Amino acid sequence: MSAVDPRAAAAPAAGRAAAGAAAFFDLDKTVIAKSSTLAFGRPFYRGGLVNRRAVLKSSFAQFVYLLQGADEDSMNRMRDYLQALCAGWSVDQVNAIVAETLHELIDPMVYAEAVALFDEHHARGLDVVLVSSSGEEVVGPIGQMLGVDHVIATQMVVRDGRYTGEIARYAYGEGKAVAIRALAAERGYDLARSWAYSDSCTDRPMLELVGHPVAVNPDKALRRHATEHGWELRDFQRPVRPGERRVPVPPGPPKAYAGAVLAAGAAGLAWWATGPHGVSGITESP
């Protein structure tokens, strides 16, 4: 399997010459202001996938995530918890919920500064790649909406149209770096000429791969590391209004993605799942 599922390649890539380098962007708190998958808590509730308690916890988790960021232990707890949570969910139902609510939920979160960088890198002949530990059925449509060229995301095993709870590819930490190397080999990217953007110290393997690492809205550990190593620092603050966005939005409904509902970038929910509040009731029927 290549680094990127061909279903997850956004339309603009087909119409451009092969790029010699790329700009790799983390998603949560780098391109958008919050956790991409936690944003879908209420639509998942309306669809019967989670109960009311889980929605309330995910709403508070957004706040915790924005304040505390993520570390390796919380991300691993998140992975284990959400593997169990999504086992048995219908892939078609998850895809439909994401397609129906994508613009309503994600549009208000997109940073204007990130969109401007997409335009800048495309104008210089670079591909733009979203690299996220969230599931591909969320990251793929977001990438298509924003006009990126490829996405790298977490993938779950699907059997008979439902998630089994097993992970096929976990795009986190060193896993992001492995996937980027594979994509670079496939597409001929020169990583020394490439850029990478992230807010989290857990993405150091990705940032250290490229010649131009940039810490965006960095957590304390990443800010310290970036300062010590002379990396560029940027603060993104202004979500862009949909009417201001210059990147093309492909016509028609979003593509279908059989991936994962792992919100691995949403460390706040892992805090809820494993902290003093416990998980009682989260997987009950709504």
Report residue 232 as tokens. Answer: 């560029």
Contact criterion met (CB below 8 Å) for 10 and 149: yes
219 in catalytic set: no
Burial class (CB in 10 A: 0-12, 13-18, 19+), 73: exposed
Using alpha carbons, select from 223, 259, 241, 251 the residue that is nearest to residue 138: 259
Rounded distance between C-alpha atoms, residue 32 and residue 143, angstroms = 11
Q: How deeply is 181 buried, as exposed, middle or buried, from its count of CB atoms within 10 A (0-12, 13-18, 19+)?
A: middle
Residues 6+ apart with CB under 8 A from 83: 156, 165, 166, 167, 262
26 is catalytic: yes
Residue with tokens 């590391």: 225
Residue 89, amino acid: W
Angle ∠(126,128,129) on CA atoms, nearest 5: 135
**Catalytic residue of the set 5, 26, 199, 203:** 26
Active-site choice (5, 28, 149, 199): 28
Active-site residue list: 26, 28
